[in-house]
Amino acid sequence: MKKLMVLCIFLLTASLLAACGSSESSKNMEVTIGATTGPYSDMVTKGIKPQLEKKGYKVKVVEFSDYVQPNIALGKGDLDANLFQHKIYMDSFAKEHHLKLSELVIVPTAPMGIYSKKYTSLDSVKNRATVAIPNDPSNPARALGVLQDAKLIVLDPKADPLTVSEKNVKDNPKHLQFKPIEAAQLPRSVDSVDLSAVPGNFALAAKMDLTDALKLENMPEDYRNRVVVNTKDLDSKVSKDIKTAVESKEFEKVIDEQFKGFGKPEWMKNN
């Protein structure tokens, strides 16, 4: 009888330990990723989530409608990673809010484009044409860069390409008239100006086709969106598995089929 009781206690203890281990393992296989509503939450849902689920993760995708809360939630530990921002924004936000954030992997990003309902080619742009550009701190440099690539203006070569502004326009042979506008309003401005430099995310939100742009941005890597994690979690298993998912052929196939016009990062071009 005594031996039977000992055996029962042993089996019960083993069962409880197994249950606890299973619970802990299950908890460790949960991952929560935040993204802004639209193409980047779609990218997580269609391109990243399925790869993680194959590894046994239970994946939760949290959508945000602004650019502040995804990083706040990440810093608080409510998210394991987020996808919505480029490096310049990440660095600036982290410094301002005393967060330690790190880039995990760069993803294909919707480029800024020059759109027009008055012109079918940038070669036919007339003198004193009006050009709507973003009025926020980081995007005017991108717009001016696209215009320079289109040979419509020349920027001071000594200026930082990430921070150039109208004052750095060295040559403007067509005397283009720049009209700074809130980025979210740029898709609407296509109806009222000659040219409009529309960031990719706002173009997609307005149901614009990226391939309709007269010129798409040759995007610097610092302006491409990335998956971001807390620096302390950079080498965690979850972070490594997310990175592997993004670097998979399955992810690239989703991009090629469902995110046409998105500019691929250098690592993907060289893959």
Question: What mean pLDDT comes out for the span 110-132?
Answer: 97
- Decide if 84 contacts 67 (C-beta within 8 A): yes
CA 76 from centre of chain: 20
Is residue 3 situated within a structural domain?
Answer: no
- Rounded Cα distance between 197 and 203, Å, is 10
Pairing between β-strand 58-64 and β-strand 154-155 as defined by DSSP bridges: unpaired
Residue 101's φ and ψ, nearest 5 degrees, are -115, 150
pLDDT in tens, 48-107: 999 999 999 999 999 998 889 999 999 999 999 999 999 989 999 999 999 999 999 999
Task: Give the CA count within 13 Å in the CB-facing half-sphere of 28.
Answer: 9
% of the chain exceeding 90 in pLDDT: 79
d(CA 160, CA 163): 5
Lowest-pLDDT range of 104-108, 218-222, 228-232, 245-249? 218-222
Q: Write down the pLDDT at residue 27.
A: 53
pLDDT band at 161 (very low <50, low <70, confident <90, very high): confident
Asked if 192 and 71 count as a contact pair (C-beta separation under 8 A), the reply is no
- Does residue 16 belong to any structural domain of this protein? no
pLDDT recorded at residue 1: 53
Q: Which residues pair with 76 in a beta bridge?
A: none
Look at 230 and 219; give whichever has higher pLDDT: 230
Greater confidence (139 vs 84) lies with: 84
- The mean per-residue pLDDT over the stretch 104-130 comes to 97
* Per-residue b or e along 196-222, where b marks 16 or more CB atoms closer than 10 Å to that residue's CB: bbbbbbbbbbeebebeebbbbbebeeb
In this predicted structure, the answer to whether residue 4 has a pLDDT above a threshold of 80 is no
Mean pLDDT of 33-44: 94
Bridge-partner residues for 181, per DSSP? 134
Instruction: Give the position of tokens 């950079």.
Output: 234
Q: Does residue 10 lie within any of the structural domains?
A: no
Are 232 and 142 found together in one domain?
no
| Residue 18 covered by a domain | no
pLDDT value for 143: 95
- Which amino acid, one-letter code, is at 6? V
Cα separation, 116 vs 150, in Å, equals 14
* pLDDT at 24 (0 to 100): 40
Q: Would you say residue 12 lies in a domain?
A: no
Residue 8 lies in a domain: no
Domain encompassing residue 153: 113-218
- Same domain, yes or no: 188 and 170: yes
Query: Are 79 and 125 within one domain?
Result: no
Residues 125 and 204 in one domain: yes
Read off φ and ψ for residue 80, nearest 5 degrees.
Answer: -90, -25
Asked if residue 86 is part of any domain, the answer here is yes
Do 120 and 103 fall into the same domain? no
Number of folded domains that form the chain:
2
CATH code at position 239: 3.40.190.10
Sorting pLDDT into bands at 50, 70 and 90, what band is 201? confident
pTM: 0.78
Are residue 209 and residue 252 in the same domain, yes or no?
A: no
pLDDT of residue 25: 45
61/129 same-domain check? no
**Average pLDDT of the residues of the chain:** 90
pLDDT at 205 over 60: yes
Beta-carbon contacts of 230 under 8 Å, excluding residues fewer than 6 positions away, are 74, 75, 77, 99, 100, 101, 102
